[in-house]
Amino acid sequence: MKKKISVNKWSFDNMPETYDSHLKRSIPLYQESQFFISKISSYFIKDQNINYEIGCANGTIIGSLAREYKNFKKTKFVGIDLSKKLIIEAKKRYKNINNLNFQSSNASQYNFKKCNLAIIHYVLQFMTDEEKKMLIKKIYKQLIKSGAMIVFEKTLMEDSYSQDVFSGIYNDFKFDNEYSPEEVIKKSISLRSVMRSSTSKNNIELFKACGFKSIYDFFKWGPFEGYLCVK
């Protein structure tokens, strides 16, 4: 008798405690993207308005920015995430930081206020095309002139040969980080219909269609890319 693989749909709600280690083992150059976010942010955070992280999970990125800028009295940091459990965890971890708050919401439905900066680190890939467009348009509208959006995304490659090569290399990365072949296959099955990556060209077209004119594709590890979009 053939053994059937039974796999649940992927959900970030299922792993608040193991979240940090999961991300570091699954996303190449995770520390380096944190470095760029912190350094690029310093060119855009002012002591006014709000700075957002969309899809903030348990708050690591926005929490560390809020700590760094705790002496800025007129700016606030807001983390938004769809997962109620991750937002509860974020609130617990950063309960003593006054300039920071967390909201549980689908970011595409969120009412943004005037902002200097929006960070979206490996999140758009979980949204439908309509949600991505709605979200980026809202952010563009509420960013001040010369404000910025920093986006990281796992992309699809432009052609099938490089898609094949880099999918293989990404699997090697996960095996090197001690995921078993079974775990890797189960995750990829659970992500079917959840993951909606686009090519880099389509991402850049989306940012342009929502109003951004200055777009810098500054970071790349195979399909993992980082963009700085300035209004």
Binding stretches for ligand SAM (CB under 6 A) = 12, 23, 55-57, 60-61, 80-83, 86, 106-108, 121-123, 126-127, 131
Place of tokens 């470095």: 35
Q: Which residue is nearest to ligand SAM (CB)?
A: 55
CA distances from 95 to 67, 92, 157, 163 (A): 12, 5, 41, 43
Q: What's the CA gap between 223 and 220, in Å, rounded?
A: 7
Q: Are the beta carbons of 84 and 179 closer than 8 angstroms? A: no
Distance of closest approach, residue 53 Cβ to ligand SAM, in angstroms:
7
We find the least distance from the C-beta atom of residue 80 to ligand SAM, in angstroms, to be: 6
**Nearest to ligand SAM of 56, 66 (CB atom):** 56
Looking at the Cβ atoms of 17 and 164, the one nearer to ligand SAM is 17
What DSSP character marks residue 226?
A: E
Q: Which is nearer to ligand SAM, 46 or 196 (CB)?
A: 196
Nearer to ligand SAM, 26 or 163 (CB): 26
Angle among Cα 54, 84, 193 to the nearest 5 degrees reads 70
Least spacing, CB of residue 100 vs ligand SAM, in Å: 15
Contact 191, 10 (CB under 8 A): yes
Quote the least distance from Cβ 145 to ligand SAM, whole Å: 26
Q: What is the CA radius of gyration of the chain?
A: 18
Q: To which residue do tokens 């219909």 refer?
A: 193
Nearer residue to ligand SAM within complex by CB, 45 or 151: 151
Minimum distance from CB of 34 to ligand SAM (Å)? 8
Residues contacting residue 132 through CB under 8 Å, at least 6 positions apart: 108, 124, 206
